Structure 1
Amino acid sequence: MSSLLSLPLALLLHAAPAATPEPVLFAPGVVSTGNEEFGITFSPDGRTVVFNRADPTRFQFQLLMTSQWRDGRWTTPEVLPFSGRYRDIDPAFSPDGKRLFFASVRPQSKEEVVHADFDIWFVERTDKGWGTPRLAEGLNTPDTETNTSVSREGAVYVTRSQKAGKRRIYRHAPQASGWGPGEPLPEVINSGHGDGNHFVDADERYLIFSSQRPGGVAPDGYDLYVSERKEGQWGVPRNLGQAVNQFDGGLTPTVVPARGTLIYAQRRPFVTTPPERPLTTKEFATKLESPGNGNGDFYEVRLADVGLPAPGR
């Protein structure tokens, strides 16, 4: 990655790739399956992945699962010990891998069965395993908080949705006791077109997020964009292009330094054109149960292929 790191950041962020790459399915049949999957994060060494898997309706129940890279393959995913009872979504490791943030409707008092909306929680991770989830005081409001992404200095970027409004991204600066009030990112990011679902570089050099702003590539979905931060100011976002923003666009992006890739969720249609010959009963059943059946899967593309620099490590 040294040659990539030596290139000017602005050149990488504002120049389109020379050729259109074709993203590849991540961990097919193990992490990316015929189920609905979205929301993904990796430990700093790239050997632990945490992701969402949902019920067939997509929106009634979601939990957090994890898989380990061992002996040249990803292990069979297992539900995290603190998940599996309430709707838990959008995991995000801190850059040092010691904390996992996620959004949940788990109760916040003895009087609640479930909370009325998603709020941000976090759990500590040590060599001995996972701790007990704690409500992230300072990151939550009466609105809905979902996606998070954490900078190296401890700032947390949060996607927040008002009860009757579009998503927006806020930055919460770290404080001794937690986090300060959220500051909305400027209009160049928060355009009013559902901006959120984001990833921030550990050194806050750039931000990747999804948006339905005019001029997008995906016909009916959210496109992924990248914005560079220079001298404390966010620049005009660049669309990541047709390679990533196919079909309904991309969601829940994450950059994995250890792999040198961008990984994101996407729902690809069961068929786009009629097959060359009729499907057999077995072929149809297999396709229904496999990635690419219309449910969410994870796709991976090299950073250089979409004009992204490698984050500092």
Structure 2
Amino acid sequence: MRRATALSGLSLLSALLLAMPAAGFLSEFGIEGMGVVSTPHAEVRASVSPDGRRIVWGSTDRPGGAGGWDLWQASLKQGRWQEPAPLALNTGAKEFAPAFSADGRWLYFFSDRPGGRGGDDLYRAPVLADGSYGPAQSLGAGVNGRGDEWAPTPSRDGRHLLFASNSFGGAGRHDLFVARWNGKAYVDPKPVAGVNTAADEFDAAWLGDGRAIVFARSANVDKDPIRLYVAQCDGAKYADAAPLSLSFNGEDGYTLGPAIDWNKPGELLITGSAKAPKAGKLDIYRMKAPAATGQGGCIAP
């Protein structure tokens, strides 16, 4: 993955966001873990464990990790996120875009660590009984190609995996795909119908178990703004994608990394930078999840 330029060159973003109105939206979102999760650094895509006791996120520049692009975790104590620390899963390579499975047994992420099939590959690590993580396991050739695979997101029942890739063809640059679980691995990735374009589509999460989808789009993720969109399933495809209703989800900003909180499925964690509250370059925010008003049929059996 090569979005370092977009995520590090944020001086222009800060200036733009100062001009964006936040009034009227404050009841819809709040910053997550001020000073612990959201800090002066760039924090991207957070996931809360199904029991609500831990939160894991990625950071591109937070000091103390193993490789720069690292996974971090904090624990819920006395009603607040506390004790942030890098995960032992981190290597000198990139580890990024974490997502817990709905049953709490796995932590998914992507990495360009040695031994992969291409650039960024998809992995998962078992969540052990003591709260630590077992060795990372590649998700295999069924979903890892010669290019980059990003942001793995398992369905609630674990039967499907939503992710972004530029390895399997598609409409343009990075596209969204869904793979199915065959009992041993995720295989047979198919393009997500209705959302892929000549731009980059990535960082997606299902709403209402697939009746809607929220995802990030950028004309060129290496240099252009990133915006979140929501599309409803019309029974066959996701149609009429529209920008997520959020004050800082503008045409010139950087908003990405949506993830449903399994512990509070009516709430969505996203990454961006508001005028206030604001901690740093990119922060983690919590908002009410958009309503899934679409139909079933957009996720193949």
* TM-score, normalised via structure 1 length: 0.73
Alignment length (residue pairs): 255
CA 1:28–1:84 in structure 2 vs 1: closer, same or farther (change >3 Å)? farther
Match of 1:97 in 2: 104
- What is the identity, as a one-letter code, of the residue corresponding to 2:240? V
Q: 1:35 aligns with which of 34, 38, 41?
A: 41
Aligned-partner Cα distance in 1 for 2:154–2:122: 12
Deviation (angstroms), 1:249: 4.0
Deviation (angstroms), 1:162: 5.2
Match of 1:156 in 2: 161
Deviation (angstroms), 1:223: 1.7
CA contact (8 A) 2:49 2:263 kept: no
CA contact (8 A) 1:20 1:242 kept: no
- What is the identity, as a one-letter code, of the residue corresponding to 1:90? A
CA contact (8 A) 2:122 2:149 kept: yes
Match of 1:237 in 2: 241
Q: 2:263 aligns with which of 258, 266, 283?
A: 258
Deviation (angstroms), 1:242: 4.2
Deviation (angstroms), 1:132: 0.6
CA 1:117–1:152 in structure 2 vs 1: closer, same or farther (change >3 Å)? same
Deviation (angstroms), 1:47: 2.2
* TM-score, normalised via structure 2 length: 0.76
Deviation (angstroms), 1:200: 1.9
**How big is the alpha-carbon RMSD for the aligned residues of Structure 1 and Structure 2?**
2.9
Matched position secondary structure for 2:200 = coil
How many percent of aligned residue pairs carry the same amino acid? Answer: 22
Aligned-partner Cα distance in 2 for 1:250–1:226: 13
Q: Which runs of 4+ in 1 moved over 6 A?
A: none
CA 1:292–1:268 in structure 2 vs 1: closer, same or farther (change >3 Å)? farther
Deviation (angstroms), 1:227: 1.8
Deviation (angstroms), 1:36: 1.4
CA contact (8 A) 2:91 2:113 kept: no
- What is the identity, as a one-letter code, of the residue corresponding to 2:121? D
Over alpha carbons, which structure has the higher Rg? 1
CA contact (8 A) 1:144 1:160 kept: yes
Q: Deviations over 1:52-94 (max 9, x none)?
A: 122279xx82111111111111112111122143210111111
CA contact (8 A) 1:95 1:202 kept: no
Matched position secondary structure for 1:177 = coil
- What is the identity, as a one-letter code, of the residue corresponding to 1:297? D
Deviation (angstroms), 1:291: 4.6
CA 1:82–1:257 in structure 2 vs 1: closer, same or farther (change >3 Å)? closer
- What is the identity, as a one-letter code, of the residue corresponding to 2:82? T
Q: Structure 1 stretches of 5 or more lacking a match?
A: 1-18, 110-114, 214-219, 272-289
Deviation (angstroms), 1:308: 5.5
- What is the identity, as a one-letter code, of the residue corresponding to 1:34? P
Q: Deviations over 1:136-193 (max 9, x none)?
A: 012101110011111123200111135995210011011122112210112x200222
